[in-house]
Structure 1
Amino acid sequence: MWMGIDLGTQSVRAVIASDSGKILGSGSAPLTGVRDGVRHEQLPDHWWTAVCAAARQALRDCPAPRALAVCSTSGTVLLTDRTGRPLTPALMYDDGRAGAEAVRARTPPAWALPKVMWLLAEYGGRDDGARVTHQADFVVARLAGHPLATDSSHALKTGYALEREDWPHGRLAGLGLPEGLFPPVVRPGRRIGTVGAAAAAETGIAVGTPVIAGMTDGCAAQIASGALTIGSWNAVLGTTLVLKGVTREPVTDPTGALYNHRAPDGNWLPGGASGAGGGALTAAFPGADPARLDEAAAAGGPGDVVAYPLAAHGERFPFLAPGAHGFLLGEPASDAEHWAALLTGVGLVERLCLDYLDLLGAPVRGPLTFTGGAVRSDHWNRLRTDILGRTVRIPHHTEPALGMAVLAAYGAGAAGTVHEAAGRMVRLRRTLHPDPARTARQLGPYLRLVDELERRGWLPAALAAHARTRTEHP
């Protein structure tokens, strides 16, 4: 039995999975925070309370796990003292108050590094033994009873140099960040500690259970998808769209829209997050019944309206455009046509993301997996498959907590590689194949969207040209 814990934005999720990937127990507990404009904070002690509740639910009717791993939101950070006690609230990944620090650090505002700079300026701590602590770090410290090493996946957005596998202390010192602020780092999948007596009493997890270094939630979802061979990709579609793949070497992107995580086996996990996604549907149709609108959209067939379905202002991938916003080309004649245009628009952006990866030289012709909340829609799955013109796999269980259970199995020595562990534990639900005729019908809307994005000055000319070429020579 293997336990995976996922620290999300709105809840904590824990699962117990067998060696064959069967979910034997699960539990969840809600999380709340403070949102006020660009401010988004949570109290770390609330994470721990939720972990205890979710773990006890998961273990209700299950044997004790042999090991566990924890994932969390990428870029969420706080300062603790040397014992792990919080010195500050946690700034969530989308807290926007560190804009000036991001300019100084030359990173996106969503990264943890500028947030650390902001926290030090706001709360102090340089001379008080403060320590940078990511969301997952705080929880594993409570599990063990003392701070543990962080993993390189969570450390990436705090400035950790993955290729050198070290903190760039010279650069960090130039930003006013002393060397003692940063924790030791290990690769994901390494054993970093064991569950202590106090945590066992609160969570129900047995004393001595190995704690395995985890990864960020996006990487955890990729493990849960089983997309771990070179050239494979996982498209996670929920509120927004995230694409992550596997390569032998890091993929260099001069714009910074794409970045690379390091896999436990030493391969690289390049990926990017688009602002397009299901959030645009929720904004346009609050409180609607997606299944009913899917049925109406399918009955209506392809329309003439083309949508750029941006969930919020600004685009991050496959191009950087802070001023970008969603739009419609044409006027929908009905809710069904509007809904269909938004569904199609997400697939068109997904195709543009893959074209950009191809432009950067990434191998993109390997297996493609769909995960995320959107896979509940069979209509949307088939529509995206046809737009992309490639075979797609959909696993049974795709939640990040399962990915951490897989990583726990690997870290405890139950498999030689993470890929082998996932091969046993990730179950495939279905495989979809594109209809060539429907794929051909989507080329016109795709080219209209590419033309309009370039005309507005958001889409770089080189990517626009490459996207057009790929419609002729896919």
Structure 2
Amino acid sequence: MYIGLDLGTSGLKAVLIDDAQTILAEATAPLEAVRPAPGWSEQAPATWLDAADAAMRELAAQRPLDGVRGIGLSGQMHGATLLDADDEVLRPCILWNDTRSAAEAAELDADPRFRALTGNIVFPGFTAPKLVWVARHEPEIFARVARVLLPKDYLRLWLTGEAVAEMSDAAGTSWLDVGRRDWSDDLLAATGMTRVQMPRLVEGSEVSGQVRDELASRWGLPKGVVVAGGGGDNAASAVGVGVVKAGDAFVSLGTSGVLFAASDAYQPDAGTAVHTFCHALPDMWHQMGVILAAADALNWFAGVAGAPAAQLTGDLRALQPPGRVLFLPYLGGERTPHNDAAIRGSFLHLDHATDRAALTRAVLEGVTHAFRDCYDALSATGTRIERLIAVGGGSKSDYWVKAIATSLNLPIELPADGDLGGAYGAARLGMMAATGAGVEIATVSKIARVIEPDTALTEYFAAAHARYRASYHVLKGLT
């Protein structure tokens, strides 16, 4: 048996699978981010350990874990977990959706070495600019930083005692030479850091350590359970749904939104604001467009409207042409294609006839248009998408998925196992590490059904997207 642990922003999910990759048990534990200032987002790393312990205990209550051979890790990317020389946490982790370091990111991005070596814009959410921010605003903490770990890798340190990162997550720090799959001493030095402060690197399917005896005994694991390198949340999700070869892609409607395409070559184009990262598998990369508020935008509107998000989307029936009302989902800035931390969301063209259903459609359409932005940016890099799978909580809305399929003019497949997220992919990586199996075990999950685009509405969505793009530039002039 094999376990996958996925450390998300709003919760930690654990799954247990057998040798046939059938899910035997699942558990979740909630987490919450705090926002102590506008644009800030933090979590206490101790809460991750409590969540992991609770989830593992729940798995053990459902099924004895004495046959477990491997564990894989997945998690939210980019977070800066700062440790001192005794591996004690120095401050709350600065999360992926924290934009306080926008000025520092712009300064690093102006240094041509960063785009040349990482293949990416230095975004405010990435790890390196956060350390520059800490050096400027919390110098007493920066002076004590002996180690920087990404969130799931802090969980690994607790599990194994080993300070290790893997390529897909490390690629989102702005310190990794993504083509060479190694830390860049030049980029580290440019931010006042050294290789000594970085964890050891492994591939996602390699062994990174073994579960400590104390934890093994607590959860009923045998001794010697290996922990795989794992993957960043999106790379692990890709392994989970079988997006492991060029031409395959998935669209994720989670808190943030991702259009992820696997690639067998390193082909960056930083100017498009497309992320080019290592995959969680050796000799593979991936490219993705990222929007910062997908389901998060719908959940925000649900709170304002005073109705559950599922009720708002459930009230919508057949897909309609986009209405005149536009929603720009930039509640906390945007990445692809704008790289704009300052921009904020907006409703446009409201009138007396605008009701709750029209606003709900506008929110779904706004996020859909943002995915079309990502699709166009990926296309500009030469990345091809031949097969598209939908994952994430928002994929439960057929209306939303059909809108995206229509906008992109691509059929979208829905996995039979539903929203497994990164946990299932992490379990597969744990299986690879424990057994030495190759990528062939990451076969595509069983597809329940396919949502086809409504070709009669494709032109309407294209026209609405053009208005959406023009509205960004109008809104930009007002911020």
Q: TM-score, normalised by structure 2?
A: 0.86
Work out which of the residue numbers 65, 71, 75 in structure 1 matches 2:74: 71
Work out which of the residue numbers 186, 196, 200 in structure 2 matches 1:170: 186
Cα distance in 2 for residues equivalent to 1:292 and 1:148: 44
Contact 1:280 1:310 survives alignment (8 Å): yes
SS at match of 2:183: coil
Check if 1:363 corresponds to 2:381.
Answer: no
Contact 2:328 2:472 survives alignment (8 Å): no
SS at match of 2:221: coil
Where in structure 2 are the equivalents of 1:351-390 lying within 5 Å? 351-364=372-385, 366-390=386-410
Contact 1:240 1:311 survives alignment (8 Å): no
Code of the residue aligned with 1:76 in structure 2: it is G
Code of the residue aligned with 1:50 in structure 2: it is A
Check if 1:444 corresponds to 2:463.
Answer: yes
Q: CA deviation at 1:443?
A: 3.3
Cα distance in 2 for residues equivalent to 1:160 and 1:439: 40
Check if 1:285 corresponds to 2:324.
Answer: no
Work out which of the residue numbers 162, 171, 185 in structure 2 matches 1:156: 171
- Residues 270-303 of structure 1: CA distance to partner in whole angstroms, max 9, x if unpaired? 1121135233333333231444433543269435
Where in structure 2 are the equivalents of 1:54-453 lying within 5 Å? 54-62=55-63, 63=65, 64-81=67-84, 84-106=87-109, 107-119=122-134, 122=138, 124=140, 130-144=146-160, 146-158=161-173, 159-255=175-271, 257-263=273-279, 264-286=281-303, 287-298=306-317, 301-302=320-321, 304-321=323-340, 322-329=342-349, 331=351, 332-364=353-385, 366-395=386-415, 396-397=417-418, 398-413=420-435, 415-417=437-439, 420-423=440-443, 426-453=445-472
Contact 2:172 2:277 survives alignment (8 Å): no
SS at match of 1:297: coil
Q: CA deviation at 1:260?
A: 1.5
Contact 1:77 1:115 survives alignment (8 Å): yes
Contact 2:319 2:402 survives alignment (8 Å): no
Farther off after superposition, 74-83 or 179-188: 74-83
Q: Deviating runs (4+, > 4 A) in structure 1?
A: 123-129, 454-458
SS at match of 1:411: helix
Alignment CA distance shift 1:222-1:182 (3 Å): same
Cα distance in 2 for residues equivalent to 1:276 and 1:76: 17
Q: CA deviation at 1:311?
A: 4.6
Q: CA deviation at 1:119?
A: 4.0
Code of the residue aligned with 2:367 in structure 1: it is V
Alignment CA distance shift 1:291-1:167 (3 Å): closer
Cα distance in 1 for residues equivalent to 2:313 and 2:48: 36
Cα distance in 2 for residues equivalent to 1:182 and 1:56: 31
Contact 2:32 2:43 survives alignment (8 Å): yes
Q: CA deviation at 1:361?
A: 1.6
Cα distance in 2 for residues equivalent to 1:203 and 1:98: 40
Code of the residue aligned with 1:267 in structure 2: it is M
- Residues 317-344 of structure 1: CA distance to partner in whole angstroms, max 9, x if unpaired? 1233433533324535322222223222
Cα distance in 2 for residues equivalent to 1:101 and 1:339: 36
SS at match of 1:436: coil
Cα distance in 2 for residues equivalent to 1:90 and 1:219: 21
Q: CA deviation at 1:105?
A: 2.9
Code of the residue aligned with 1:152 in structure 2: it is M
Cα distance in 2 for residues equivalent to 1:58 and 1:227: 27
Alignment CA distance shift 1:35-1:202 (3 Å): farther
- Residue segments in structure 2 that go unaligned for 5+ positions in a row: 110-121
Q: CA deviation at 1:367?
A: 0.3
Farther off after superposition, 55-64 or 319-328: 319-328
SS at match of 1:109: coil
**Identity rate, percent:** 27
- Residues 140-177 of structure 1: CA distance to partner in whole angstroms, max 9, x if unpaired? 12111x22321122222331112122222133223321
Contact 2:289 2:377 survives alignment (8 Å): no
SS at match of 1:25: strand
Q: CA deviation at 1:430?
A: 1.5
Cα distance in 1 for residues equivalent to 2:475 and 2:179: 37
Code of the residue aligned with 1:229 in structure 2: it is K
Contact 1:35 1:41 survives alignment (8 Å): yes
SS at match of 2:205: coil
After superposition, the CA RMSD in angstroms is 2.6
SS at match of 1:336: helix
Cα distance in 2 for residues equivalent to 1:340 and 1:75: 32
Q: CA deviation at 1:438?
A: 3.1
- Residue segments in structure 1 that go unaligned for 5+ positions in a row: 459-474
Where in structure 2 are the equivalents of 1:41-60 lying within 5 Å? 41-60=42-61
SS at match of 2:435: coil
SS at match of 1:15: strand
Code of the residue aligned with 2:35 in structure 1: it is R
Cα distance in 2 for residues equivalent to 1:35 and 1:202: 34
Farther off after superposition, 237-246 or 78-87: 78-87
Alignment CA distance shift 1:230-1:279 (3 Å): same
Q: Which residue of 2 aligns with 1:462?
A: none
Report the number of matched residues: 453
Alignment CA distance shift 1:243-1:256 (3 Å): same
Contact 2:6 2:73 survives alignment (8 Å): yes
Cα distance in 2 for residues equivalent to 1:91 and 1:20: 38
Farther off after superposition, 70-79 or 271-280: 271-280
Contact 2:213 2:223 survives alignment (8 Å): yes
- Residues 42-83 of structure 1: CA distance to partner in whole angstroms, max 9, x if unpaired? 222221121111011113233432211111211112222455
